[in-house]
Amino acid sequence: MKVSPFSFNQLQPWPPEGADLNPIENVWSEMVREMDTHHAKNPDELWNAVNNTWHHLSQRPSYWQTLAKSMTYRLRLLIAVDGDWTKSYEMKRNYVK
């Protein structure tokens, strides 16, 4: 039986609400920032504002590239703090090589 290199023997513990390795949290935050000036008066206006904001964000390749590149830093920082929450460890950047 051939085993896929992507199969796992055991699931590792994962913080249920940890945003450290979840870049979608950054995307939601960016969308909220961009939508801060929209004042939808009804669900249709809100839907249009969300769609327009998503479209605008999707047209910014540098945003997505920066987000993707940040994953290396996030992984290194998470390893440096032994898997603990990294938000309180931002000052330890110099320990991450």
Give per-residue pLDDT as tens, 46-93.
999 999 999 999 999 999 999 898 888 888 887 887 777 766 445 444
Q: 56, 34 in Cβ contact below 8 A?
A: yes
Give dist(CA 74, CA 41) in Å, integer.
Answer: 38
Q: Is the pLDDT of residue 5 over 70?
A: no
| pLDDT tens digits along 13-54 | 655 555 567 788 889 889 999 888 888 899 999 999 999 999
* Residue 13 structure tokens: 């513990």
What pLDDT does residue 9 have? 56
What pLDDT does residue 96 have? 45
Q: What is the DSSP string of 16-80?
A: TT--TT-THHHHHHHHHHHHTT---SSHHHHHHHHHHHHHHHHT-HHHHHHHHHHHHHHHHHHHH
Give dist(CA 81, CA 78) in Å, integer.
Answer: 5
Residue 73 makes CB contacts below 8 A (sequence gap 6+) with 96
pTM: 0.59
